[in-house]
Amino acid sequence: MRILVLGGTRFLGPPVVRQLIERGHDVTMFHRGTREPSLLSGLSTGSDRSPELGAEIDFDNLEVEQETAGDDALPVTVLRLPVIYGESDVQRRLAHYVRRMDAGRPVVVLDTRLARLRLSRGYVENVAAAVVLGATDERARGRTYNVAEPVAYTELEWAAAVG
């Protein structure tokens, strides 16, 4: 299958592109040109700094879902992604906890509201696999998937699990 990946040079993109290539797909990556991807065998690239691909794109995800739903000319699979963690996370979601644990601190202090916050999470390689399946499996067309790990932990539970 020929697949065009828009972006693909930061956190989730590289594992998606790698998994697509590993599955034998013909992948072209089109990105803004601010970061060159590490080239993989079988990857074509292009870059453009045009405003159409810039950060000023403003849309509501739900509006896009509703607008594209039922359009037979545009087969769409909606993937509602969780908070993603793993290697190359530019937001460094675990750094605060790991740094304190590595320093041997017996306690990691959390704000009460943050400690109770319950989030759906997903490991980057697993989320990338879901994106690849959503893009390549015909059975996914026209469907909506909530992608996440089976348990949504509170931040306190998450910090305890990391330690």
Torsion angle of C-alpha atoms 78, 34, 129, 132, degrees rounded to 10: 60
Alpha-carbon distance of 54 to 32, in angstroms, equals 7
Is the pTM above the cut of 0.85?
A: no
Look over the chain and give the mean of its residue pLDDT values, rounded to a whole number: 81
| Annotated domain spans of the chain | 1-58, 62-163
What is the Cα 16 distance to its own chain's centre?
9
Per-residue pLDDT band at 139 (split at 50, 70, 90): very high
113 phi-psi bin (left φ>0, alpha ψ -120 to 50, beta other): alpha
Helices 155-162 and 95-102, axial angle in degrees (round to 10)? 40
32 residue type, one letter: R
List the structure tokens of 19: 């998994």
- In residues, how long is the chain? 163
Q: How confident is the model at residue 131, as a pLDDT?
A: 96
Alpha-carbon distance of 92 to 75, in angstroms, equals 34
pLDDT tens, residue by residue, 90-128: 888 888 888 888 888 888 788 899 999 999 999 999 999
User: In terms of DSSP bridges, do strands 43-47 and 26-31 run parallel, antiparallel, or are they unpaired?
Assistant: parallel
Neighbours of 153 (CB within 10 A): 16
| Range in 22-36, 60-74, 94-108, 112-126 with the lowest mean pLDDT | 60-74
Per-residue pLDDT band at 40 (split at 50, 70, 90): low
